[in-house]
Amino acid sequence: MKYTLPAEWHKQQALLLTFPDEHTIWVDTLADIEPLYVQFARAVLAYQDVIMVCRNLQKQQYIEQLMGTEHAHQLRFLHAEFNDLWIRDYGPISLVQDGKIKWLDFGFNAWGGKYAGDLDDKVTRQLYDAKLLNIDEYARQDFILEGGAIETDGLGTVLVTPCVLTKTRNADLSLEDIRASLNVERVIMIEHGLLLGDDTDGHIDTLVRFCDPHTLAYSSCEDPKDPHYDSLKAMEAQLQTLTDLAGQAYKLIPLPIPAAKLDMDGRRLPASYANFLIINNAVLVPTYEDDNDARILEQLTAAFPNHQIIPIPSLALIQYNGALHCASMQIPATL
């Protein structure tokens, strides 16, 4: 039996987070982002352990003071240097097999060299060496692949977008290379759907997500005047043609994107409800002080009947182009 790529709803032993600090791009927004991270981590700790990456013991003690001591599960720390908080993209990709876990440590070059990523690229190895988690094998991979660029049903299907094949990431990467490295049956390219302001070149986790092996939730647009309308309608049309490995059409759940959210310079931000995070018995959903927030929470409540739906206000996080899923990485449990 070979290692396989589990779905996000596979039981988890911990969630990885990286706490923003004054040495990152968040230096001028710490008053907004720190309370969000405390709320985020506390919400997760009600259900499972959290491993928090921070720079040193002094920063750990500061975070512990912010967090307090009343949480159901364990908060642990890794001291490491890092460039930014988007650990979904530089953290480990976990495969599972017969109660064992293997970490794939893909290269990370900050979305094709757009920013500094040299410190982030070393974090997974440091996590493995620290022995904070129950990991059986570690393998460094010889090409670039970000965690937010792949979405799986846990049964052998992976969804990606054209971002995985950009020349700034890998000169000669193919979908077959991705399929083989992840030990999956098929990789499906979603051809449309880039959100304005998305500096990842269109990660799948802002566009299309599995809720279960037969259900896809996806970013949609209902306003013909919105610049996303044509692209997201084309993506929707492609999703309507897809089938699962048994040949059955997927159930589709549209998640209308929020009205335009702008940064301080008037740039539109890639706010997406598809960037929700599945943890043990709960789904954390980014909200944006938008008219669609309540509607989305109702839709995801129906899509995840066995999970608690927890809204996390995410306007502070989206200021630098990501939300809850981008900022975290789950580690599966050994079953």
Active site residues: 326
Q: Please give the backbone phi and psi of residue 120, each rounded to the nearest 5 degrees, phi first.
A: -55, -40
Q: What angle do CA 207, 210, 215 make, to 5 degrees?
A: 110
- What is the DSSP secondary-structure string of 178-231? HHHHHT-SEEEE----PPTT-TTS--GGGTEEEEETTEEEEEE---TTSTTHHH
How many Cβ atoms from other residues are within 10 Å of residue 83's Cβ? 20
Burial zone of 29 (CB within 10 Å; 0-12 exposed, 13-18 middle, 19+ buried): middle
* Cross-strand bridge partners of residue 243: 249
What is the DSSP pairing of strand 100-107 with strand 137-144?
parallel
Signed CA dihedral, 334, 300, 32, 30: sign only:
positive
26 CB contacts (<8 Å, ≥6 apart)? 20, 33, 85, 320
End-to-end CA distance of the chain: give it in Å, rounded.
15
